[in-house]
Amino acid sequence: MLNNGNLWWIVPFASLAGRASGQDSPAPPPATAQTGCVSGDCHGSVLGRSFMHAPTAQQKCAACHVATDAAKHEFQLAAAPDQLCVTCHSIKKFDFSHEPVKAGQCIGCHDPHGSQFRSLLKADPLGDLCRSCHDAGAYSDRRFVHEPVASQACILCHESHGSWRPHLLASDTRSLCLSCHSAVAEGVSSARHVHSPLLNTPCTRCHDPHASDHAAQLKENPQSLCLSCHTGMAEQLSTSSTVHGAVAQEQACLNCHSGHDAEFPALLERRPIDLCLQCHSQPLSDAKGRTLPNMAALLQDNPFHHGPIREGDCTACHDAHASSHFRLLEHEYPPEFYAPFTLDRYALCFNCHVREMVLQPFGAGITGFAQTTPDGLLNLHYVHVHKEKKGRTCRACHEVHASQRPFHIRESVPFGEEGWALELNFTQTQTGGKCAPACHDPQTYVRPGKSLLKTDSEDLP
């Protein structure tokens, strides 16, 4: 390799060896200027550009062009078109090469004489160069376009000549994405819970790196994308009679879950109760047009909260996705005032509360709602609920979310098809209590033990 001014010429090793031994060998193309090649009258347009190819700038045209008939001004390239550039420019071999490089079509992207752009590019690399071959029509009509694509900065992610990675990527997909998306990178390194695909698969598993009709360049709508992996949830949604409205909205799973990382289990964006109250802070309607109360106001106005509410876990009773039970409940719960007793009918309640309260007629320590009798301590939950026909269900006396009274005792209960509000008129005493629902005579229960007035944080009277 010989240095001629600012230009490096590659001379075949055999030629140098032949000269050293005195043997004849083919001489390299002459590196002398062709008189008058570049002037105002001839080929003057190749000069005066911001970036010049060294042979052109030095007017050493013979480095690339060889005269075949000077009188007729006929020339040919000094080497085959797919070999000429690499006689000077060494191109590293990669596992994946850009098609023009592989085919030796350097002038597909580079001007061999000079250019207004660096690297003698024929067009702006942040403009139309890549799009001269790669059709942008596939992205132009999408709602969301990745910023590097929108600004035509393809070289931020792709190598121009070759790469060890498919699609000529400049780095592995995950590192490449996180080099710009620093907030995601920080979450991956510091969050308590990280979505496993973010650790085990490329970001392109969920995101289109160029453009999409879905926010954040998601490849599909959020629900379809999530269910492509969460097949168990897909089955639950398809087989349940009621699907939570939040799941059916445009953002679907992303209304509650983070796609990348979170401080709460199941990648929840916030505490379960805080997520629920984001929507349930106003009157809503269910799928059948029935009004759902403003739960935030109800909890604020009623100081005695059900245990799961106190713990901030609405999902202890409700399925956040879909259910075939009333009000998206996890298990069966009687919605009516009267119901024949079966244990299965109260499956939701007995997921936490002891079953003996409705199975055993007598016994101390089962529940505080008990009456002292000559036969023993009568379990009044059993008396009310355990009936073949008109058993009082839990809702006959208790509010399921919050109440003005201890043990979630209701002020009134809707009764009958017209929804009459029957007052319970419950009064708590030191050793029991009494109630006088509607027009019935007052009923009193007395039991031994400590004052109920000091146990108003418990779940049962």
Asked if residue 2 has pLDDT above 80, the reply is no
Residue 95 lies in a domain: no
Q: Which residue in 346, 442, 362, 355 sits closest to 398, CA to CA?
A: 346
Residue 7, number of CB atoms within 10 A of its CB:
16
Domain check: are 275 and 391 in the same one? no
Domain check: are 202 and 67 in the same one? no
Q: Quick one: pLDDT band at residue 367, thresholds 50, 70, 90?
A: confident
For the segment 212-255, what is each residue's pLDDT rounded down to a tens digit? Answer: 999 999 999 999 999 999 999 999 999 999 999 999 888 999 99
Residue 122: DSSP 8-state: S
Cα 426 to Cα 412: distance, rounded to the nearest angstrom: 10
Q: What is the pLDDT of residue 33?
A: 43
Q: Which amino acid, one-letter code, is at 139?
A: Y
CB 169 within 8 A of CB 159: yes
Domain check: are 303 and 177 in the same one? yes
Could you list the residue range(s) of the whole structural domain that residue 65 is in?
Answer: 2-78
Give Cα 217 to chain centroid, integer Å. 10
Average pLDDT, the chain: 84
- H or E stretch covering 391: strand 391-392
Residue 253 lies in a domain: yes
358 against 15, higher pLDDT: 358
For the segment 122-163, what is each residue's pLDDT rounded down to a tens digit? Answer: 998 887 888 888 877 677 788 999 999 888 889 899 999 999
Q: What is the pLDDT of residue 428?
A: 85
Residue the block writes with tokens 């259910």: 323
Residue 160 lies in a domain: no
Average pLDDT over residues 59-83: 88
Residue 34 lies in a domain: yes
CB 19 within 8 A of CB 25: yes
Domain check: are 319 and 342 in the same one? no
Q: Give burial (CB, 10 Å; 0-12/13-18/19+) of 122.
A: middle
Residue 310 lies in a domain: yes
Domain check: are 270 and 218 in the same one? yes
Residue 298 lies in a domain: yes
Asked if residue 293 has pLDDT above 60, the reply is yes
Q: What is the pLDDT of residue 452?
A: 40
Average pLDDT over residues 437-447: 84
Domain check: are 316 and 385 in the same one? no
Cα 156 to Cα 397: distance, rounded to the nearest angstrom: 66
Domain check: are 304 and 348 in the same one? no
Number of domain units in the chain: 3
Domain check: are 344 and 398 in the same one? yes
Which of 311, 327, 343 represents a domain boundary (last residue)?
A: 327
Q: What is the pLDDT of residue 35?
A: 53
Q: What is the pLDDT of residue 36?
A: 62
User: CB neighbours of 354 closer than 8 A, spacing ≥ 6?
Assistant: 366
Percentage of the chain lying above the pLDDT 90 cut: 52
Average pLDDT over residues 274-290: 89
Q: What is the pLDDT of residue 247?
A: 93
Q: Quick one: pLDDT band at residue 404, thresholds 50, 70, 90?
A: very high
Please state which of the ranges 28-37, 167-176, 274-283, 303-312 shows the lowest mean pLDDT.
Answer: 28-37
Domain check: are 204 and 322 in the same one? yes
User: CB neighbours of 384 closer than 8 A, spacing ≥ 6?
Assistant: 391, 392, 396, 397
Cα 199 to Cα 178: distance, rounded to the nearest angstrom: 12
Q: What is the pLDDT of residue 259?
A: 93
Domain check: are 210 and 265 in the same one? yes
Which of 327, 355, 383 represents a domain boundary (last residue)?
A: 327
Domain check: are 305 and 177 in the same one? yes
Asked if residue 365 has pLDDT above 50, the reply is yes
Q: What is the pLDDT of residue 220?
A: 94
Residue 119 lies in a domain: no
Which of 280, 299, 327 represents a domain boundary (last residue)?
A: 327
CB 270 within 8 A of CB 262: no
Q: Quick one: pLDDT band at residue 188, thresholds 50, 70, 90?
A: confident
Residue 130 lies in a domain: no
Q: What is the pLDDT of residue 449?
A: 62
Average pLDDT over residues 269-282: 94
Domain check: are 316 and 370 in the same one? no
